[in-house]
């Protein structure tokens, strides 16, 4: 049986003692228990829950291009009439990229566009695509878990895996039903990158 927060603290209260807000204690306790559970599962070879979302990057970097019309200051007419199909994040080449969700992997190479890219398709059919990679740590057909490293960023013109690019970055795209959609329609992804 779970006690109400006031019951937990009233057992420990001394006369005249001011107690902390029990909701803060329970939130901390729940977060601590979750972290401990994840550590235990990872230590025993288990994984974090399948439905969890993990930021594809371990730290935040500047967003240089959003989904839709190209930024004319950066691309100076080189892409007239075309739309950008993802979100560009300026990262140093070699930055680890993690699967944001658990799913099935597809690895491809497009020398005139995305360069080397990895797609992860989740159980709901959404596909997360990570392009301009300098390295890939997974194989097509493999199943990955959320948080697993799938590759490293690249995008430096003339380097392996760069494709058509103007500098080091990670291009993150989202596909639904085979069509590119704005990656920021996924709230967790928008929060992780913004």
98 pLDDT higher than 60: yes
* Band of residue 45 on the pLDDT scale cut at 50, 70, 90: low
* Band of residue 7 on the pLDDT scale cut at 50, 70, 90: very low
Out of 21-30, 115-124, 151-160, least confident range: 21-30
Q: What is the pLDDT of residue 3?
A: 30
Look up the CATH number of domain 63-193: 2.70.70.10
What are the extents of the domains in the chain?
A: 5-43, 63-193
41 pLDDT higher than 50: yes
37 pLDDT higher than 60: no
Q: What is the pLDDT of residue 24?
A: 40
| 164-188 tens-digit pLDDT | 777 788 999 999 999 998 898 888 8
The rounded percent of the chain whose pLDDT value lies above 70 is 66
Q: Is the pTM of this model over 0.75?
A: no
6 pLDDT higher than 50: no
**In sequence order, what are the beta bridge partners of 113?**
none
| 57-73 tens-digit pLDDT | 999 999 887 777 766 66
40 pLDDT higher than 90: no
| 112-155 tens-digit pLDDT | 788 899 999 999 899 999 999 999 999 999 999 999 999 999 87
Q: What is the pLDDT of residue 126?
A: 92
User: Measured on CA atoms in the order 177, 109, 97, 63, is the torsion positive or negative?
Assistant: negative
């Amino acid at each position: 049986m779970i006690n109400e927060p006031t019951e937990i603290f009233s057992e420990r209260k001394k006369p005249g003692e001011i107690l902390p807000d029990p909701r803060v204690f329970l939130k901390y306790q729940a977060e601590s228990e979750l972290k401990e559970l994840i550590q235990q599962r990872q230590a025993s070879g288990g994984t974090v829950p399948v439905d969890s979302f993990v930021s594809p990057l371990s730290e935040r970097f500047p967003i240089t291009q959003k989904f839709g019309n190209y930024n004319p200051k950066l691309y100076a007419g080189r892409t007239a009439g075309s739309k950008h199909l993802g979100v560009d994040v300026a990262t140093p080449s070699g930055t680890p990229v993690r699967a944001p969700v658990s799913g099935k992997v597809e690895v491809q190479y497009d020398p005139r566009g995305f360069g080397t890219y990895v797609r992860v398709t989740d159980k709901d059919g959404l596909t997360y695509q990570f392009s301009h990679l300098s390295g890939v740590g997974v194989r097509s057909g493999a199943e990955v878990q959320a948080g697993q490293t799938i590759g490293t960023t690249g995008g430096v013109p003339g380097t392996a895996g760069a494709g058509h690019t103007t500098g080091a970055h990670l291009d993150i795209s989202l596909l639904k039903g085979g069509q590119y959609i704005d990656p920021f329609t996924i709230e967790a992804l928008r929060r992780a990158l913004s």
